[in-house]
Structure 1
């Protein structure tokens, strides 16, 4: 059996309109608090998207657990293509049509095609208890696939920053259980 903790990054600095947006001051405080959730969990490896906000969310936990953060660019957030004022409307369109995208952006199908091969590789090669830190859309697309569509747009909208989902899997990769918002008891 494997336990995988899917961590959505903490609160980003909304004044930076690029993929390099760092955490806000509040986001950094929440990242520090997140480490207390993991202090008694025997995590053996930590993986993160290459984006600063994901890396910085799990950095205090990695330091506490004395584990390196292994950067996995395949788990970067989906490319939108341009800054959007109506992100919620855009996200709703993408979740209703996994092929929908803007110019220079990625569809949810393209995100899935990017992350699934790396997910399978990590799952087969990794320890029995590990953390994957990433982004709302990228993680939601993965969880949608792993739950055979049960994790949907509503679940995506309910994700917090940061948020932790615990997936319990068979050694063959079958998802037995997905626990949502497991860090809320910190």
Structure 2
């Protein structure tokens, strides 16, 4: 066996349901999100994770804690796993964003938000930093956010930025699995766990 990373997106929030851009806003899980986190924890516990690390935002941290309680692991916190910052878009619905910033909406680039390249790099650097602490057969669960995880995974795989849209989004409490190989990291599984539930994310609208 070799090192693996399970990239787990947080459970549902009210802002997910309302299609509001959350970004760095610290929005809690709703009742459905709490149930999703418990279900995901029961499934992922069978993988016997050896370490859990979470974004510092409560929707991700509470999702991670649900798993930590089952497997008896403490949850570490790393703010580098935060969601992509949305600037003035945070708290607004996609319709409101499209009406006020039509050109930026098409590109999904908030004028004062965090560029996708910066998000991809900070998340991938953090993933590698935590993976370096694992034993050769360790399994790390990273609990984070839809856009942050998708972009970080693309960077971990070494995909050029023009191909990043080819990787679809992550549903609430869905996960992807990365494994370290002789030639770098590879994607074993993507957006598993909660299909066919819809993907509601701060990621691009088509996700």
> Shorter-normalised TM-score: what interval?
0.7 to 0.9
Deviations 1:14-67 (A, max 9, x none): 278661100111111111111111232221000000000001112111100010
Q: TM-score, normalised by structure 1?
A: 0.82
Q: Does the 8 Å CA contact 2:3/2:134 hold for their aligned counterparts? A: no
The Cα RMSD (Å) is 2.6
110, 116, 121: which is aligned to 1:108? 116
Normalization by structure 2: what TM-score? 0.75
Following the alignment from structure 2 to structure 1, what is the Cα–Cα distance between the partners of residues 51 and 172? Answer: 21
Change in CA separation of 1:116 and 1:181 when aligned onto 2, cut-off 3 Å:
closer
Task: Select which of 134, 151, 158 maps to 1:148.
Answer: 158
Q: How does 1:47-86 map to 2 (within 5 A)?
A: 47-82=53-88, 83=90, 84-86=92-94
User: Is 2:6 the counterpart of 1:24?
Assistant: no
Number of residues of Structure 1 aligned to a counterpart in Structure 2: 177
Structure 2, unaligned runs of 5 or more: 196-207
Shift of 1:176: 3.3
Distance 1:173 1:3, change over 3 A: farther
Superimposed CA distance per residue, residues 127-168 of structure 1 (whole angstroms, 9 cap, x where no aligned partner) = 4211001001111111111223387335344x2111111112
Q: Could you tell me which residue of structure 1 aligns to residue 202 of structure 2?
A: none
Q: Distance in 2 between matches of 1:7 and 1:91?
A: 26
Structure 1 residue ranges without an equivalent (≥5): 95-99
Hey, what's the Cα distance between the residues in 2 that align with 1:2 and 1:92?
Answer: 38
5 Å matches for 1:122-137? 122-127=130-135, 128-137=138-147
